[in-house]
């Protein structure tokens, strides 16, 4: 039985519309140690691979929402 140490999440953003938006999200994700990430303007999403022992999906959602972006599926 293997223990999952890392998790991969793709999170959709409903109001990411430009390169500047993507850069803002990249800059925010860069603040998290020990993760891998990519931001896709065309898909309006970002993917993050993170250690389960350090972070949850909500950590990344909250960081992005602080800049006014909305996560698809979250109630506001």
Is the torsion defined by CA of 21, 19, 73, 50 positive or negative?
negative
Closest Cα partner for 34 from 53, 58, 15, 11? Answer: 53
* Mean pLDDT of all residues in 11-19: 94
Question: Is residue 1, in this structure, part of any structural domain at all?
Answer: no
Residue 23: give the domain boundaries. 6-65
Question: Is residue 74, in this structure, part of any structural domain at all?
Answer: no
pTM: 0.87
Question: Is residue 15, in this structure, part of any structural domain at all?
Answer: yes
pLDDT one-digit tens code per residue, 17-74? 999 999 999 999 999 999 999 999 999 999 999 999 999 999 999 999 999 999 987 6
Question: Is residue 71, in this structure, part of any structural domain at all?
Answer: no
Question: Is residue 70, in this structure, part of any structural domain at all?
Answer: no
CATH number, position 54: 3.30.70.100
Number of domains in the chain: 1
């Amino acid at each position: 039985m293997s223990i999952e140490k890392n998790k991969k999440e793709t999170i959709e953003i409903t109001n990411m519309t430009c390169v500047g938006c993507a850069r803002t999200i990249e800059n925010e994700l860069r603040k998290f140690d020990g993760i891998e990430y990519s931001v896709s303007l065309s898909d309006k999403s970002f993917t993050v691979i993170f250690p389960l022992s350090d972070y949850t999906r909500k950590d990344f959602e909250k960081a992005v929402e602080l800049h006014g972006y909305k996560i698809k599926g979250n109630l506001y």
